[in-house]
Amino acid sequence: MLSEHVNIRNILSKIVGDPTQFSLQHRLFNAFTFIGFILVLATLIFNSFSGLYYSALISLVISLLFASSYYQSTVKKRYIQSFVIMIICLNLLLGINYFYNAGVAGPTLLLLLGVYLATMVLSPKDQYIFWTVFNGILIIVLLGIEFNFPNTIRGTYSERSVYFLDNLITYLIVSLLTAAGVITFVYHYNVERKTVEQQSELLGLLNDEKIRLISILSHDLRAPISGIQTYLNRFFHENLSAEEKRIVEQQLLSLTQQTQQLLDSVLTWSKAYYHVEQVQLSTIDLAECLRQSTALYTHLAQHKKINLIIQTQAHLRVTGNEAMTLLIIRNLIDNAIKFTDEGGEIRLETRKEGNAAIVSVADSGTGKARQIAKDLFEKINNPTDRNIKDVGLGLTMCKQYAEAQGGHISYSTNISGGTTFLVQFPTS
């Protein structure tokens, strides 16, 4: 069923034009000329067999006019020019047909009404008044000539049955053309609406990505900037010896370099991996990632008198993305420091378990921190409750990026208090 729907869409796109290349009105004009060409051919056949030779000749000219307009619009993409020329010629040809096809008693006025309706659908808004006046003047002129000069009208019907059949066929043609126009309009309107909805959804995703990037920058830059501020306060407000000043200057330089590297890393990631579906994996050293991440938060831990205990397994290599892995670890360390009281302890560890490598971040935080972690994990694991404004963006990001690398993140509460977060990666 789906393949049939796709095939129909492909056929329609070939007939009326690709929505990415043709506007809605342009496609409607293409559909009008294509369908009009087929229907006028039917009238040409009927007029020829009914002895309405003048009408058949005009039908032939109109069919050629439709074919030429369709070609100019679809191939040459001259929509406006083709539309104006076709509508003017079509009205004039029908005006001539009026005199050879029984005048007001014939079907020409009905055809002119159908052309006017199509014109109002297809024309630009700034041409509505012009075409309305044009059509009104043409109708008045035709009726005025017939009223004042009745001999100008030719009753070309050979039989009474042909007269009724001609009116019936004309009515059916106008009805079919109107129905086809409405159906085409509704179809392409729905296509346009779906396109707008998809674009709106894409804008929402891009906005979420923007919020995520801002959050990453705020998380990762806070630690080194806070360290720089701390050392500058010492430098300007404490009486330091020359040796102490030299140490502070070295620490400031080191933090500045780390901040620059961090900023480069985040910006590089945002350009290369803007969508997690496009993440590129390689072999990375998990212990080195933990060491780099911890270095940025050492001064924050010292400021809160938190003891950082680091245990890493050497040469523990995993298949992942270094930029994303660094972001995950830094976020977990930042949260651990935030929810750990002064004098507390944070234990950082890398180890291997079977075919998986584990990064463990365990803190001695409070019961409140444990409840926050539980609530956030329940929300990010619930597909119906993943509003980026209502859950922890940091943990949402960690979960998303861990899964993008073939791993996952989990948590557990410690008996002695605090929370342990575990990030698992596939080993190389």
Task: Indicate the helix (H) or strand (E) that contains 352.
Answer: strand 345-353
Which pLDDT band, with edges at 50, 70 and 90, does 22 fall under? confident
Q: Give residue 283's identity as a one-letter amino acid code.
A: T
Residue 271 domain-assigned?
no
Structural domain including 372 reads 278-428
Count of the separate structural domains present in the chain: 2
pLDDT of residue 143: 93
Tell whether the model's pLDDT for residue 44 goes beyond 70: yes
* CA 344 to chain centroid: 47
| Contact yes or no for 259/225 (Cβ under 8 A) | yes
Same domain membership, residue 394 and residue 285? yes
Same domain membership, residue 198 and residue 308? no
Which pLDDT band, with edges at 50, 70 and 90, does 137 fall under? very high
Which pLDDT band, with edges at 50, 70 and 90, does 391 fall under? very low
Q: How far is CA 152 from CA 62, 134, 145, 389, in A?
A: 22, 22, 8, 77
Which pLDDT band, with edges at 50, 70 and 90, does 130 fall under? very high
For residue 322, which of 270, 282, 371 has the smallest C-alpha distance? 282
pLDDT of residue 261: 60
Same domain membership, residue 74 and residue 184? yes
Residue 376 domain-assigned?
yes
Q: How far is CA 132 from CA 99, 112, 138, in A?
A: 22, 12, 10
Residue 42 domain-assigned?
yes
* CA 37 to chain centroid: 37
Percentage of the chain surpassing pLDDT 90? 7
Same domain membership, residue 396 and residue 297? yes
pLDDT of residue 200: 76
For residue 304, which of 338, 333, 331 has the smallest C-alpha distance? 338
Same domain membership, residue 169 and residue 45? yes
Average pLDDT, the chain: 77
| pLDDT tens figures, 334-347 | 778 878 888 888 99
Same domain membership, residue 304 and residue 180? no
Tell whether the model's pLDDT for residue 144 goes beyond 90: yes
Residue 266 domain-assigned?
no
Residue 233 domain-assigned?
no
Same domain membership, residue 425 and residue 326? yes
Residue 372 domain-assigned?
yes
390 vs 181, more confident: 181
Q: Which residue has the tokens 């929300």?
A: 379
What SS3 state is found at 319?
strand
Per-residue burial over 322-342, b = 16 or more CB atoms within 10 Å of its CB, e = otherwise: bbbbbbbbbbbbbbbbebbee
- Domain boundary pick from 171, 202, 233: 202
pLDDT of residue 220: 61
Give the residue-averaged pLDDT of 357-361. 91
Query: Rounded to an integer, what distance in angstroms lies between the CA atom of residue 158 and that of residue 161?
Result: 9
Same domain membership, residue 282 and residue 155? no
Same domain membership, residue 287 and residue 159? no
Least confident of 68-72, 310-314, 391-395: 391-395
What SS3 state is found at 351?
strand
What SS3 state is found at 239?
coil
| Contact yes or no for 32/122 (Cβ under 8 A) | yes
| Contact yes or no for 389/397 (Cβ under 8 A) | no
0.75 exceeded by pTM: no
pLDDT of residue 390: 39
* CA 262 to chain centroid: 31
Residue 253 domain-assigned?
no
- Provide the token pair at 278: 């496009």
- Domain boundary pick from 202, 232, 256: 202
pLDDT of residue 148: 92
Same domain membership, residue 181 and residue 33? yes
Same domain membership, residue 304 and residue 167? no
Residue 258 domain-assigned?
no
Give the residue-averaged pLDDT of 350-372. 79
pLDDT of residue 2: 41
Query: Rounded to an integer, what distance in angstroms lies between the CA atom of residue 131 and that of residue 169?
Result: 26
| pLDDT tens figures, 203-257 | 776 677 667 666 666 666 666 677 777 777 777 777 777 777 777 677 776 667 6
Give the residue-averaged pLDDT of 114-135. 88
Tell whether the model's pLDDT for residue 329 goes beyond 70: yes
268 vs 230, more confident: 230
What CATH number has the domain bearing residue 329?
A: 3.30.565.10
- Domain boundary pick from 187, 202, 217: 202
What SS3 state is found at 23?
coil
Same domain membership, residue 167 and residue 313? no
